[in-house]
Amino acid sequence: MKSVWRGRALAVASHLLIWVFVAFNYVQHAVWRSPPWSVGVFASSHLLLALFALSWWQVTFSRAQGPPQAWYDSVNPMAEVCKRTGVSLPPRARLWDDELVLGFDHFCGWLGVPIGLHNRKFFVLLLLYGSLLTAVGGSLSLHDYLVKSSATPLLPSAGGRGGGEDGHPSLMSSVMVFVSPALFLYSLYSGAGQLRQLSLEVYTTLFDMATCVVLFVFLVYHVRLVLRNGTTIDPITSRWDVGRRANWEQVFGHKAIWWLVPLRGSGPTVDGVNWPERLERI
């Protein structure tokens, strides 16, 4: 019982940390900043935030759906037996806290929810929009830092000066510096003069950069799993690998227009009970 409550407490703390982090970035760039960012930056940032929030909601609150009644009314030779309970399960399904999760991928302790066929698409999109959101937030913070510190120009403009016409780095220059740790560390030293003079923008950039890298690594890992139809608990299986496009559509649906939208859209191409197998095994 203690472990259950400990896990729930960790999940609640993790959710709070996520939104405190998002709120801190939002207040810094949308509330405190004067003058405000351009309409393009403001609109694109809010779009990313909305997509991230919707992905988070779908991952957290989407409920797993059990197999159709026909599964219980017939004997399926592909059934697997739960080692803990002895209950007959559809292939690739798992029981988690007495909840049957079809297409089980893993249990995310940070979010406190199982990831399966019902929310796997949204989990991948959460990683995608989280990494993009932190990249944008970090680049904006770095841009403000470079402007305030009148840092040494890192990327020369057409006029031979760094960034914009006033000699300050452009937003694109800040993005370039953000994605290059070497340039970023150089800008800290050359711009501030002394590392003890680090400002709020620098700390925000550092936290955003670290978070962006972690989320991006997880994103690449999970995208690769989807493309080869593996899961976190069975990453190298070849039994279910029916081709990258078909594997992808089993999670994201067959209509590409819905792939990047945190809504069900056309839905997965499998029901979580009947999984096509690789031809060599049939």
Residue 161's pLDDT is what? 41
Provide the number of structural domains found in the chain.
Answer: 1
Residues 203, 137 contacting (CB under 8 angstroms): no
Residue 220, CA atoms < 13 Å, CB-side half-sphere: 5
Q: CA-CA distance, 108 to 127, in Å (whole number)?
A: 13
Residues 131, 75 contacting (CB under 8 angstroms): no
Q: CA-CA distance, 76 to 78, in Å (whole number)?
A: 5
Q: Is 86 exposed, middle or buried (0-12, 13-18, 19+ CB in 10 A)?
A: exposed
Please write the tens of the pLDDT for every residue from 183-239: 666 665 565 444 444 567 777 888 898 999 999 999 999 999 999 999 999 888 788
Residue 103's pLDDT is what? 93
Please write the tens of the pLDDT for every residue from 61-100: 998 887 776 666 666 666 776 667 767 788 888 888 778 8
Q: CA-CA distance, 182 to 184, in Å (whole number)?
A: 5
Q: H or E stretch including 94?
A: strand 94-96
Q: Domain range spanning residue 185?
A: 2-281
Examine the pLDDT at 30 and tell me if it is beyond 70. yes
**Could you give the C-alpha distances from 101 to 6, 97, 107, 185, 240, in angstroms and in order?**
22, 10, 10, 45, 18
